[in-house]
Amino acid sequence: MLNMLRSSGVLSEQELMELPGVPSMELVEKGPVAVIECAEMIPCNPCEACCPTGAIKMGDDMNNLPIIDAVKCTGCGLCIAACPGLAIFVVNGAHTKSEALVSIPYEFLPLPNVGDQVEALDRQGKKVCMAKIVQIRSSKKFDKTTVVSFTIPKEKCMEVRQIRLPGGMQRKQ
């Protein structure tokens, strides 16, 4: 169980799709849904607690892995900011015919600007394509975690989970 995660620190695609918090590709392609890449059983429940529609459940034991109900999920993104492990994303596989809209927690400065072209990285930190920033949300409910939304080619929507801004260490803060 979870051999790739345990040995390399990164979930393999197979391990990912088996998690109860990860909806099937069919559901992702229907519209925005939370993808909860939570694989460790730890006592943690901010995702369940913050969900306004009750789409995230872990039953009677908060050590359980969260289960996503794609029908109840509206893709609001509150859980993206609530998860202390930065493990929750909202993926909209129906954004356009060729592109998916992915929302991630982004806790770095400087923030990108809407319209910027940035590098899109996979779970190993490797660049897989470019992303275009569509929305940047910092609300009081997100409590100092900014949620950045960007478009990428649809086929990469279950790979891309981070962005890298150009410029490296020389960026002005």
- Map residues 31-50 to x or -, x wherever contact with another protein holds by CB under 8 A: --------------------
Rg (CA), the chain: 16
Binding to another protein (CB under 8 A) within 77-116 occurs at 107-110
Closer CB to another protein, 106 or 150, in the complex: 106
Q: How many residues bind another protein (CB under 8 A)?
A: 10
* DSSP codes joined into one string, 24-85: -HHHHTTS-EEEE---S--S--HHHHH-TT--EE-TT-TTSPPEE-TTT-----HHHHH-TT
Least distance from another protein to the Cβ atom of residue 138, Å:
9
Closer CB to another protein, 1 or 109, in the complex: 109
Least distance from another protein to the Cβ atom of residue 142, Å:
11
User: What is the C-alpha separation between 166 and 50, in angstroms, rounded?
Assistant: 33
Closer CB to another protein, 92 or 162, in the complex: 162
Binding to another protein (CB under 8 A) within 113-172 occurs at 144-146, 169-170
User: What is the C-alpha separation between 25 and 154, in angstroms, rounded?
Assistant: 11
Closer CB to another protein, 3 or 113, in the complex: 113
Closer CB to another protein, 33 or 104, in the complex: 104
Least distance from another protein to the Cβ atom of residue 44, Å:
20
Q: Which amino acid is at 1?
A: M
Per-residue tokens: 77: 């993104």
Least distance from another protein to the Cβ atom of residue 169, Å:
6
Distance of CA 104 to the CA centre of its chain: 5
Query: Is 116 in contact with 165 (CB distance < 8 Å)?
Result: yes
Least distance from another protein to the Cβ atom of residue 136, Å:
13
How far CA 16 is from CA of 129, 157, 170, in Å, comes to: 20, 13, 35
Binding site for another protein (CB under 8 A): 107-110, 144-146, 169-170, 173
